[in-house]
Chains A and B, each alone.
Chain A
């Protein structure tokens, strides 16, 4: 899912929140993004980001306060999320599927903001699976354009908020322009240290292991290693999650009531605590996230012993 981040408590464009009415009475969902205007790009840019800057300056001084019940020493370093339920959310409201994805963007934005506030170091999101290429072409194209738009719009925020972006997955299948954008954004934000957002696009756990295997086979072919030398450490160096200091999620959250991993980060989830939320991703907010974290903090982790 694309990451369109506004750290403002007040949105730039106020629109009736679909959540303020019963869902069956909501005809259309309005995003909180500014619509395309005939203004020249520099003016539009200035207006768009002025609101964000002012909101950023109004940020509360103590942004590290945790809700009651959460313990700072037991916060997970890495949370992974399978953002399921966007299409169902839209279908339930008789909205087009794209509205579901846009609502999913809002949800992701909120969760990233909360993660930054509560001191979680890494958030991995399953934005687009290898299996999702089988979806209708129109839907896939829309998602690609949503990723592109989201990255372009929020580049400034990533720099200001010191957020590192990493993208994992088989990027060769993506449109060339999007590939370039992602690679450039990764490179440009690689020294940001406050928070890392890992976006899994065209990714699957099987793909990750197989590509690591291929890289190791190549090293063996070149005589750099023997196949018998392959161990956990060598394997983890080749997995796509080698882009982070915390490659193994402490907590995996899956929304929409499905009880499966759906081919996400299989190797990395060996000792991860699993939390299955009933709500659909666009409805997954701070309250649900808090519930997941509180549940996580109650768990006794034995790491197989």
Chain B
């Protein structure tokens, strides 16, 4: 929980849930597990608002609660963690992936679940069907069964999972017989506090779709219906219909999406380095080992060349010996994406996942140095990565850069902490004249440092965007009001003169200002998305090194 992470989490919470939730969230992040009274006392926010914020945080899965540590009877404690909040940055990417894999239906399902935190299957299906119907032409509507089938497919491929039933929430038995009660803890009132909260995957029914009776079609919301009536209608609808899956809540499985992104990164790296066919081979290998590989595995299970040959997509009609050549090329490549694990079955091949991640992170570091300090500094950096420890003189020689400039570049890199000095004494008293000083680069600490820089970057981008919006708040409000007036005029059928008259209420320089503002905000938003891709790579790399232990 570094300062940069906390700052970024605070900004993300503020943008998506409001200032009150942001205050409560940052307070919890900074002070660890706390109970309700302490939160109220230390943040100075009223009881009602704190309760509401905690409810919002718990519903979205960012906050977990457990009974107090001191004794079973002590008040419940709440705790948040940074990484769940940082996922908010990646929501557009999740939604887009769902769209590419499962079409518009999948996209809307994921979007609804991300907006609400968790929902039952029936309510998700209904909401998504309504939204899809809204966008279809008059007279057509979306059937619930189509949406349900998309939902089931998402669950089968593990993109969605059930929320773990709350053990210490005050209910001991589950709602419906479909959800199992917490296994192996039949009578204890509070879950054991010393263990970590149970992961969703520890429950056997995590990916089982409940049997739900959902028959109907999406409802189109009429444009002349009052918002109030719609809300009342929705309320009565939800009260009267039950579908047999009460109490079963679904949430988005972020880890599965991350595995998917990781696979995509590896495939595109292979495509960039080698060619399209090799990337197809690697894609086939990864697809075959999707279900057999655990998320933290170092490499996939060995696949024989025969199996790969059979599973290649039929559009790639390469003969068997060519496939063997491609595999040999992949194995010999210095990036080590693919490794050979044996000779049986025509050769057993694995995809080295952790090595691939480490190489991708290394490429990121190198490109960062190149873009900030120039290609010669990048050459020195790459040299140090490869050769581990080098003296000043050796650096100049190997990099083929004149001594003065090499010195300058090395000191710049040293001052930015991208390169470290390692002292090797000849004598036990570390006398400066009798010690070797070697330059070195440690990949993992450097990656962590760059990751923190990325968090700081995104936080700065968000702050700048908020600042720009605040500056032009008056102008934005005016343009919104004019758009609303235009829309209502058009809906009630006004003449073009009236429309132009309203449009002219915004003067030309104001229009220019608005355009420039829109451009800036779009740029800042895109930049956030792009930095998030780097964050993903570096985070995966750092996590892969941690999970070894």
A and B co-occur in one complex:
no
Measured CB to CB, the residues of B under 8 A from A are: none
Measured CB to CB, the residues of A under 8 A from B are: none
